[in-house]
Amino acid sequence: MKTGLKGLDPRSKLVLVLCLSTLGVFIQDIGILTAVLCASIVLSAASGSRLFVLIKKFRRILWLFVAIAVIQSVFAPSGRALVNLGGIKLITAGGLYKGVAMVLRMSIVMVSATIMATSNSREIVQGLVQWKVPYEIAFMVSVAIRFLPLLTDEIKNVVTAVQLRGIELDRIPARQRLKVYSYLIMPVVSGAVIKSRELATTMETRAFRAYPKRTSYMVLTMNRNDYAVITTSLVISILTLYITH
């Protein structure tokens, strides 16, 4: 029998993720955002997610986070100038503060999303249906969850095919690299379109939406831990937003 966050109902995890993401979006203070990010990391690890894999992926896009922080600082200048270029305030203290806050928000959303990844798509769909969400919308969520890994694999296959032809993407100049990536977009998009057509054909052959109501062998039940997590998440989120605003 699973205990702790690993055994939670997917609906409880969904409420928890929504609360963390809401705090990340509406809170402005960097200190509180950092606390929310730490809480997201702890909860994600407790739920049994592949957090270390996500951290390794963070290392690959660390430059993107730095670029976002700098761009936010440049286009939202305020406060004392930290870097001047020709009399122009390139980076300011207030702008850098906003940039770091933006990076923290993105990290909170990405880390908290790993909590939902511990539940399979069928459980998520069933949870939404039992919450009276129309099955079509719940199915769209399931398809989106399944298509993201497929799209990632499609991109990896195309990049591998290019590398097998002797093109080292890491060694060519940035301008030529962008040109190569522009050529890779078409096969990736065409592959996604083909998969979507196959999915549509499969749905039609199985008489999708033939009946107004659907039945399911899987029925999710919430226990005391689920209600405790939902109540605690909502109360802490509301109090935090009330205090910070």
Looking at residue 88, what is its pLDDT? Answer: 63
Looking at residue 111, what is its pLDDT? Answer: 85
Looking at residue 21, what is its pLDDT? Answer: 92
SS3 content of the chain, % helix, strand, coil (to 5): 75, 5, 25
Looking at residue 34, what is its pLDDT? Answer: 92
Enumerate helices (H) and strands (E) in the chain, giving the number of each: 9, 2
Residue pair 46/117 in contact (Cβ under 8 Å)? The answer is no
Q: Which of 99, 130, 104, 102 is nearest to 14 (CA)?
A: 130
Q: What is the pTM of this model?
A: 0.71
Compute the distance between CA of residue 33 and CA of residue 105 in angstroms, rounded to an integer.
Answer: 7
Looking at residue 85, what is its pLDDT? Answer: 64
With residue 32 as reference, give the H or E element that holds it: helix 30-46
Name the stretches of the chain with pLDDT < 70. Answer: 1-5, 51, 53-62, 64-65, 69, 72-73, 76-79, 81-90, 148-149, 169-170, 174
Compute the distance between CA of residue 142 and CA of residue 130 in angstroms, rounded to an integer.
Answer: 15
Handedness of CA 181, 185, 186, 191 (dihedral sign): positive
Looking at residue 4, what is its pLDDT? Answer: 56
Q: In whole angstroms, how far apart are CA 100 and each of 47, 94, 105, 215, 243?
A: 27, 10, 9, 48, 22
Q: Which residues, including other chains, have CB under 8 Å from residue 194's CB and lie 6 or more apart?
A: none
